Amino acid sequence: MQKLKIKNITLENNLLLAPIAGYSDVGFRRLAKKYGAGLTCTEMISAKALIYNNQKTLDLLHTFDGEKPSCVQLFGSEPDVFEKVVKLKALEKFDIIDINMGCPAPKIYQNGDGSALLENIEKASAIVRACVRATNKPITVKFRSGVDENHIVAVEFAKAMEKAGASLLTIHARTRKQGYSGKADLAVAKAVKEAVKIPVVVSGDCVDRASYENILKETNADGVMIARGALGRPEIFSEILGKDVKVNKLDDILEHIEELRKYYPDKLINLMMRSHIAFYLKRCKVSSADRLSLIDDSLDGVIEKLKHILN
Ligand SMILES: Cc1cc2nc3c(=O)[nH]c(=O)nc-3n(C[C@H](O)[C@H](O)[C@H](O)COP(=O)(O)O)c2cc1C
């Protein structure tokens, strides 16, 4: 397994857990790391909200013991805000800072953030330059192939980010218009890899060892990032790495909850775990009545039911 170097940081391997809003919480990242992910990253976090010390936003910054290296993903569109944010004490513990320039959600891009930056290369470059000025930590950028099929900007964009000082690029080779449907365009990812000297990670459609190998073969990328393929089955990292591990879903769910309990109240964890549990149980033989019964007011109640269903 190839290692991956990001500026002065060398990852154990080139398999990364993607930032996934609503899912890549500290508990899920702990499991991804346990199963071998070379790098874990927070979900996208508003740079501006961090400046204003918004408590809900600060609550997204928890890391688990042993999350090394650690990566935080920020979104926003104002270079001066980024310059201040990367110097905040709250971000001191993170080794790598990733900037989201691909989010297709209307409320994000209509605000000039996320994928809106694909249409504003000057501003995107200014953001990277501002971060690089403010810290020696590696600044990385995650972006999409373009806005739609008639506006594929990935290569031009990648070159500009490299010139601005980015240490690594992650390309999710779908357009904003595609959202999460259709296949990621590996030809675009390959063109990005060929256009820059810094490492390139490809995000999109890695669901097993065969797709991992195919992405590397088709693009010559330096690494592969996994998002949906890891939901409910963080053991995907072990499978791809060829590590022989015994998976116990109940133990994994309990470990996930145990980590979250260090930082959040049960009521919130119950909400956070609802969609995770649906994914964890996807490949388990569980009746719909049992699944429904898991919607419980108390986290302890959910845990007891899970023990009953999965034992
Ligand atoms: C529910 C969901 C939330 C996501 N949140 C983020 C995010 O916070 N930041 C980001 O850069 N990408 C985000 N993505 C995109 C993924 O990181 C990834 O690039 C995309 O899903 C393609 O990879 P996949 O085919 O492995 O899922 C999200 C995707 C999904 C499905």
Query: Are the CB atoms for 106 and 117 separated by under 8 Å?
Result: no
* Separation between Cα atoms, residue 266 and residue 114, nearest integer Å: 32
pLDDT-derived band at 100 (thresholds 50, 70, 90) equals very high
Query: Are the CB atoms for 98 and 140 separated by under 8 Å?
Result: yes
Q: Is 73 helix (H, G, I), strand (E, B) or coil?
A: strand
Pocket test for ligand 1, best of 172, 206, 276 (most atoms within 8 A of CB): 172
Residue among 2, 67, 25, 33 nearest 238 (CA): 33
Q: Is 218 helix (H, G, I), strand (E, B) or coil?
A: helix
Query: Are the CB atoms for 4 and 13 separated by under 8 Å?
Result: yes
Using the predicted structure, report yes or no on whether residue 296 has a pLDDT greater than 90: no
Q: What CATH code would you report for 4-241?
A: 3.20.20.70
| Ligand 1 and 20: CB distance under 6 A | yes
Report the amino acid identity of residue 67: E
- pLDDT, residue 199, reads 98
pTM (2 decimals)? 0.97
How many other CB atoms are there within 10 angstroms of residue 75's CB atom? 26
Say which DSSP state 86 is in: T
- pLDDT, residue 2, reads 86
Q: Is 100 helix (H, G, I), strand (E, B) or coil?
A: strand
Residue span(s) of the chain under CATH 3.20.20.70 come to 4-241
Per-residue pLDDT tens over the stretch 234-246: 999 999 999 999 9
- pLDDT, residue 307, reads 96
| Ligand 1 and 21: CB distance under 6 A | yes
Atom 6 (ligand 1) nearest CA: 20
Secondary structure E strands in 60-212: 70-75, 96-101, 139-146, 168-175, 200-203
Pocket test for ligand 1, best of 15, 17, 20 (most atoms within 8 A of CB): 20
| Ligand 1 and 226: CB distance under 6 A | yes
Per-residue pLDDT tens over the stretch 20-62: 999 999 999 999 999 999 999 999 999 999 999 999 999 999 9
User: Looking at 41, 71, 103, 206, which residue is catalytic?
Assistant: 103
* Separation between Cα atoms, residue 64 and residue 78, nearest integer Å: 30
- pLDDT, residue 182, reads 94
| Ligand 1 and 19: CB distance under 6 A | yes
- pLDDT, residue 295, reads 87
Cis preceding-peptide flag for 69 (omega within 30 of 0)? yes
Helix axes 186-195, 209-219, angle to 10 degrees: 50
Q: Is 7 helix (H, G, I), strand (E, B) or coil?
A: coil
* Separation between Cα atoms, residue 261 and residue 239, nearest integer Å: 28
Cα(168) to centroid(ligand 1), Å: 17
Atom 18 (ligand 1) nearest CA: 227
103 is catalytic: yes
| Ligand 1 and 215: CB distance under 6 A | no
Using the predicted structure, report yes or no on whether residue 1 has a pLDDT greater than 80: no
Mean residue pLDDT across the chain: 97
- pLDDT, residue 87, reads 97
Per-residue pLDDT tens over the stretch 199-229: 999 999 999 999 999 999 999 999 999 999 9
pLDDT-derived band at 99 (thresholds 50, 70, 90) equals very high
Residue among 226, 171, 237 nearest 198 (CA): 171
| Ligand 1 and 180: CB distance under 6 A | yes
Say which DSSP state 115 is in: G
The full DSSP string for 225-242 is EESGGGTT-TTHHHHHHT
Per-residue pLDDT tens over the stretch 153-171: 999 999 999 999 999 999 9
